[in-house]
Amino acid sequence: MRRHILTSPTLFRRPCFWTPLNLQHRQHACFLSTSQRRLKKMSPHPDFKTVEAAREDWEKIEWHLNKTVNPEWRVGTGATDDTWKSLKKVEIDPYAEGRRVGDNYKLLISAITPRFIGFVSTISKDGKTTNLAPFSYTTMVAHDPPMMVIGFSSSMENKKDTLQNILDTGELVINVISEWFLEAANYTSINAPPGVSEFVLSGLTPAPSSKVKPPQVAESAFSIEAKLVSHHPWVSPATGKTTGVTIFAQGVNFHVREDMWVEGSEGSIVDIGKLKPISRLGGIMYGRTTAGAELTRPDFEKEAEKEDVQALL
């Protein structure tokens, strides 16, 4: 059993506006209204609850460390499995004739995984509406200063509420999603109209921040108050249109739940077994982090003294 996978990639794909209707839907799509066609286009899959009911219940798994695949690995020996030698790689031009943008999207989110989910809380320019949404195009790129990047798949003309709020106010909070509020966090991905707060819809709790106006998520064990440094739009080579925006944000304040620390490392190291972070996989799948393996980083001066290393130099 693959314990880290919550849904089946063979049954579900992430619903997106560009997903084409399959043949059986095309046969009767012309008889549907515009709104019905849009709904049909976004949901061409079996009923999720029916599929989910056939699966095992959520299993409580405590974080643990394993040995590596081959603890006796030796320098210069390469991979621990030779299967790759008998298989070829398929070369794909992302802009080959007839290839859809959606193909690149599905390929990348299923191969570049697991991905950290930036659970981003913002507030509107007038301060009346809070917004909360998950973004898996998020990562840390520096620690001094603490820098985060977030990618938005939208144009500057058709901005997501989160991006609009960040550009208007220059402020945001990036929260970590943990197992105990996965369902609520996922619900914030709903396509709610401007003026509707996902905090209310999800039942999650806004908590005051100290150095920025957007609230943090009280249920999150780790949150970063951040301020916008810069943003950059991306233009599609195929259409010449802006199809995405990346923002750089600097962390200005951290919030860590008091029970999250590795014992003896308060203020510096969070215990992953307590944090229980959720990651993004392909399609509509999420991942759990339940096991790991440790390896020391080699030092060249020391390694160069060994005979087997010298034989390779």
Q: What is the mean pLDDT of the segment spanning 109-123?
A: 98
Residue 134 located in a structural domain: yes
Position 44 scores a pLDDT of 61
Sign for the pseudo-dihedral over CA of 244, 248, 253, 258: positive
Position 42 scores a pLDDT of 52
Residue 73 located in a structural domain: no
Q: What is the mean pLDDT of the segment spanning 29-37?
A: 39
The CATH code of the domain that includes 196 is 2.30.110.10
**pLDDT, mean over the chain:** 88
Query: Among residues of the chain, what percentage have pLDDT more than 90?
Result: 82
Judged against a pLDDT cut of 80, whether residue 82 lies above it is answered with: yes
Q: What is the mean pLDDT of the segment spanning 82-94?
A: 97
Position 183 scores a pLDDT of 98
Residue 48 located in a structural domain: no
| Number of independent structural domains in the chain | 1
CA-to-CA distance for 231 and 53, rounded, in angstroms?
A: 43
Position 6 scores a pLDDT of 43
By the 8 A CB rule, do 242 and 156 touch? yes
* Whole-prediction pTM: 0.84
Judged against a pLDDT cut of 60, whether residue 47 lies above it is answered with: yes
By the 8 A CB rule, do 147 and 230 touch? no
Residue 242 located in a structural domain: yes
Q: With cut-offs at 50, 70 and 90, classify the pLDDT of residue 120.
A: very high
Q: With cut-offs at 50, 70 and 90, classify the pLDDT of residue 17.
A: very low
Which domain range does residue 235 map to? 115-280
Residue 51 located in a structural domain: no
At 187 the three-state DSSP class reads helix
Residue 17 phi/psi, 5-degree rounding, is -65, -20
Judged against a pLDDT cut of 50, whether residue 36 lies above it is answered with: no
Judged against a pLDDT cut of 90, whether residue 33 lies above it is answered with: no
Position 206 scores a pLDDT of 98
pLDDT tens-digit map of 251-273: 999 999 999 999 999 999 999 99
Residue 3 located in a structural domain: no
By the 8 A CB rule, do 257 and 156 touch? no
Residue 91 located in a structural domain: no
- Best-predicted range by mean pLDDT (2-6, 56-60, 145-149, 192-196): 145-149
Position 158 scores a pLDDT of 78
Query: Among residues of the chain, what percentage have pLDDT more than 70?
Result: 86
Residue 261 located in a structural domain: yes
